Every structure is written in C-alpha cells, then in structure tokens.
Amino acid sequence: MTFTVTDSKRNAITEKLADIRSFQYLLIANEQQLIGECSDSEIRDRLQKMLGDDRKNLGIVETAIADYGIEVKTKETVREIVHRVKGE
C-alpha cells in the first residue's frame, strides 16, 4: 500500500524538522559550553557522549530536511525561545 504526501503536509513536516534542528543546535552549543567549564572528568565524558549523540541526531534531521527538498525557516516562536535560552 502506497500513499502520497501532499505539498502542505510536506511543508508542515519540514517546518517541524526545521524547529527540531534549531533546538539541536541549541543543545549542542550548551553541551559544548558545559564541557569547557566542567572540571570533573566523569561528567565531562558523559557530556561528550551526549554531544556526540546530539551531533548524530542533527545529521539525521538535516538529512531528512534535504530528502524533502524544501528549505523552510524555523518558526518565530522557536527562534524567540532559542534567543531567550541563549540570553540574547
């Protein structure tokens, strides 16, 4: 059984993926900052593993966006959240 995805559904999926990508970038930036400030080697190693996993997740999200062939921007509300978390 096959089904088709309409353009509106494809756009909606890609928009959600763009939002997820923004949050992944935020997670990666925060983990990198924590690693730089952490003096405990065990915690730093755990953070490094989390960072590696999040980089892989980001790659998967970016691949999915590329596969859809539609580049959309992150929603304004997500951009605002990211800026607030970053302290900008």
Residue 4's pLDDT is what? 74
> Residue 47 in contact with residue 80, Cβ under 8 Å?
no
Distance CA 31, CA 53 (A): 11
pLDDT in tens, 23-81: 999 999 999 999 999 999 999 999 999 999 999 999 999 999 999 888 888 999 999 99
What predicted TM-score, i.e. pTM, was given to this entire model? 0.85
What does the block give as tokens for 2?
A: 């096959």
Distance CA 61, CA 65 (A): 6
